A and B are shown apart, each in its own frame.
Chain A
């Protein structure tokens, strides 16, 4: 991919997220706070570095996109107010806004359901995983 496109994707992630990756001092507190750390292939502090390096495609292919809980522990505890969790969300947005890239479709739902599933879980799942 050309350098141009890299820069373009980088600025889109920064715009969508409203995060400040350039302020990161690589202290790792975000990853240390993250309850999903063990499940992630790319860790929260690495999301920040990947953005700074312009490698957004790797983030869009990361399985961490489905593991982040949007719990804001990383956002709360980052000493530099970088907002790493918002970067994870923005990378997911970049992915699912593409044609055919939804992480959840109505056809997937029946087998995921049980009688106790609350409405808000379905609402929020579609909002998080599809356009």
Chain B
């Protein structure tokens, strides 16, 4: 199975691990990520204003490119996923945005939200299957791992439709599949404050300390995330309970025995 792939700005720079492990693991699991041509940065934050069109066009371009190729569009970064998925919902369901965006785009055929947007974790759950993944694991991790969901993957749940926003299980199921022991802790779906971490460093610091204390208190030895912004912010924690943070793709590569080769 070949998917269109939208890596996003940060996976090409600061979060290269997230990108290369995602691609290598895909091959081992029988699917391929084909990077869409000339993708542009999604902007990192979904433009909430109902009158914002120009700032959504880079997402619409990527979505349309996948549509033309007849492929589903896969993202790995939580922020890209959030932005592209919500923009796709606008194109499908908000007539005013659809009309105005298409006026700008001048496509052969107007784009109306036809593309299916999948996060890499959804590909693992819904297309590969966690049971199949489990069979391919050569090095079960055996460690206590806390899933850090944060906000962008889960909310607003009506639109992103990723998992139950209050009691998600997808990353815990992933952890089980790669032979780890998931640790449930209260702050796993609380925002880390990533978007304010540039200007409000003290405030963001308090928030990540709370997350670390919560996870460590429940016995986690490490955290995993899909988001480079969470990764950056969580790593700023100065809590005595600070845990190491990994991208989920990195642990996937480790479990599949691909980490050293990549």
Residue A119 contacts which of B9, B151, B157 (CB distance < 8 angstroms)? B9
In the complex, which residue of chain B has the Cβ closest to the Cβ of A86? B48
CA A68 – CA B200 in complex, angstroms?
Answer: 11
Tell me whether A119 and B13 are in contact in the complex, defined as CB-CB below 8 angstroms, given that A35-B191, A73-B155, A124-B44 are known contacts.
Answer: yes
**Chain A interface, number of residues (Cβ within 8 angstroms):** 36
CA distance A15 to B155 in the complex (A): 22
Query: Would you call A89 and B49 a contact (CB within 8 A)?
Result: yes
Q: Report yes or no: A70 in contact with B14, Cβ–Cβ below 8 A.
A: no
- Assess whether B199 is interfacial by the CB under 8 Å rule: yes
Is B155 in contact with A39, judged by CB distance below 8 angstroms?
no
Q: Does B207 sit within 8 A of A, measured CB to CB? A: yes
CA separation between A128 and B48, bound complex, in Å?
10
Chain B: interface residue total (CB-CB under 8 A): 41
Q: Which of chain A's residues have a CB closer than 8 A to the CB of B200?
A: 39, 66-67
Contact B190 A16 (CB under 8 A): no
Confirm or deny: A27 has a beta carbon within 8 angstroms of a beta carbon on chain B.
Answer: no
Q: Which of B202-257 contact A (CB under 8 A)?
A: 203, 207, 228-229, 231-232, 235
Which B residues touch A49, using CB under 8 A? none
Per the bound structure, the CA–CA distance linking A19 and B226 in Å amounts to 29
List the A residue with the shortest CB-CB distance to B210: A35
Residues of B within 8 A of A104 (CB): 198-199
Whether the Cβ atoms of A125 and B199 lie closer than 8 Å is yes
Complex partner residue of A120 from B50, B77, B165, CB under 8 angstroms: B77
Interface assignment of B196: CB less than 8 Å from any CB of chain A: yes
Contact of A75 with B232 at beta-carbon distance under 8 Å, contacts A69-B191, A123-B41, A124-B43 already known = no
Q: Does B55 contact A (CB under 8 A)?
A: yes
**Complex alpha-carbon distance, A120 and B232, angstroms:** 11
Residues of A112-129 contacting chain B, CB below 8 A: 112, 116-125, 127-129
- Contact call B155/A72, Cβ cutoff below 8 A: yes
Interface centre among A16, A70, A104, A129 (most CB of B within 10 A): A70
A89 to B77 Cα, complex, angstroms: 23
For A70-96 the 0/1 string (1 means CB < 8 A from B) is 111101100000000010011001000
The answer to whether residues A70 and B165 also contact, given A119-B10, A120-B77, A120-B229 and a CB cut-off of 8 A, is no
Report chain B residues within 8 Å CB of A70: 45, 48, 195
Residues of chain A within 8 A (CB-CB) of B47 are 127
Contact in complex: B55, A127 (CB < 8 Å): yes
In the complex, A50→B172 CA distance in Å? Answer: 41
A44 to chain B, nearest CB (A): 13
B240 to chain A, nearest CB (A): 21
Query: Which of B14, B191, B196, B199 is within 8 Å of A118, CB to CB?
Result: B14
In Å, the complex CA distance between A70 and B229 comes to 14
List 22 A-B pairs, Cβ < 8 Å.
Answer: A35-B190, A36-B203, A39-B203, A66-B200, A67-B203, A69-B151, A72-B156, A73-B151, A73-B155, A73-B190, A103-B199, A104-B198, A104-B199, A112-B199, A118-B10, A118-B13, A118-B232, A119-B9, A121-B44, A123-B44, A124-B44, A128-B45
Extra pairs beyond A17-B50, A124-B229 (10, CB < 8 Å): A66-B200, A70-B48, A71-B155, A71-B191, A72-B156, A116-B232, A120-B44, A123-B44, A124-B195, A127-B45
Chain A interface (Cβ < 8 Å from any Cβ of B): 15-18, 35-36, 39, 66-67, 69-73, 75-76, 86, 89-90, 93, 103-104, 112, 116-125, 127-129
